[in-house]
Amino acid sequence: MPIASPPPMSPSIRLIHAVDDGAAGRTQAQPARSDEQLLDAYSQAVVSAAEKISPAVARIEVRQPPGRGGQRAGAGSGSGFVFTPDGLILTNSHVVSGASRVRVQLPDGQAFDADIIGNDPHTDLAVVRVSASRLPTVALGSARGLRVGQLAIAIGNPYGFETTVTAGVVSALGRSMRAYSGRLIEDVIQTDAALNPGNSGGPLLSSHGEVIGVNTAIIEAAQGICFATSIDTAKVVVSQILQHGRVRRGWIGVAGQNIVLSRRTVRYFDLASESAVRVVSIEPQSPAARAGFEAGDVIVRYDGKPVAGIDDLHRMLSEAAVGRAARIELLRRTQRLVREITPTELPPKGSG
């Protein structure tokens, strides 16, 4: 269908605002303001942040190895951002995990093959490196001073549309989100800045153009419910990756499940929580095996702190727990037992 031609345009009209200059009947035409002057504070903040950060936001393309049975190699894409001028890029673990090839492209047209130097599925963060120098970089901020309702700006490559900018607000703080590894990611930022597949790994920015989070996930059935891993969490992960090549966590070698304790049990043993962790299985030669754990034991305290569930235990088994002896309290049938246990480092595919 042909597009109808618009009607002839009427002569342009410029409204003139009369101002009293002190002389009777004399008026002056107020000069027309430029588009830049007409930008409100909100627009200025978004424009400034986008111009400042966009050059450092990368498109990341990955190639997966062929699957079993002759399946074709998979491919995918996401986002990331350069945080050092010599080529370190932060992205999501799920963007690059298992990739046989990682390719990075910047908005100025530069493209590089990248190496994965560290991958932490438990926080869904990864660091890749390209061989380059003098690259544009982002400014890393902090999420600690954030307030609900303040401006949040996301930049990424949704569905391959490079350097797409969306804006919204910080909807909530202190959320928790389950990583695909099963562990809980703490201190997650919720925002309504629109995210789509391909935004993963891109930066979430404050109005000052500082990175406050790493865009990670959306709820597909909802609108405007999106999540970013706090940049404070990311800083800790990056520091450990650069130091150790991985994130070190404690491991005791049990598989457990959350249970609700009976009121009678809580009262009888004078427990601080009505829930705990039941040991389902124990890894051979693990710290738990050496400490005399048995399947069916119920973990109620670790190092003097109540254990209300598996997530509590994971929080306590941080890097600081590795190699440090701790007292762990168990319920075994009608007994309350105390065992000393020394966590080791979590194996690459370990649990518990």
CA gap 189, 266 in Å, rounded? 35
CA gap 124, 237 in Å, rounded? 10
Q: Which of 93, 94, 120, 230 is catalytic?
A: 94
DSSP result, 249-311: -EE--EEEEEEEPPHHHHHHHT-S-SEEEEEEEE-TTSHHHHTT--TT-EEEEETTEE--SHH
Amino acid at 123: T
Residue 115 falls in the annotated catalytic set: no
Residue 208 falls in the annotated catalytic set: no
CB 298 within 8 A of CB 310: no
CA gap 166, 293 in Å, rounded? 52
- Supply φ then ψ for residue 316, to 5 degrees: -75, -25
Q: Which of 77, 122, 124, 206 is catalytic?
A: 124
Residue 124 falls in the annotated catalytic set: yes
CA gap 53, 210 in Å, rounded? 8
Strand, helix or coil for residue 49: helix
- The radius of gyration of the chain's CA atoms, rounded to the nearest angstrom, is 27
Residue with tokens 């990056």: 238
Count of residues in the chain: 352
Q: Which of 54, 77, 79, 200 is catalytic?
A: 200
**92: CB partners within 8 A, 6+ apart:** 78, 124, 125, 126, 200, 201, 214, 216
How far out from the chain centre does Cα 167 lie?
17
CB 114 within 8 A of CB 132: no
Torsion of CA 130, 133, 136, 140, to 10 degrees: 70
Kindly report the three-state secondary structure assignment for every residue of 9-20: CCCCCCCCCCCC
Active site residues: 94, 124, 200
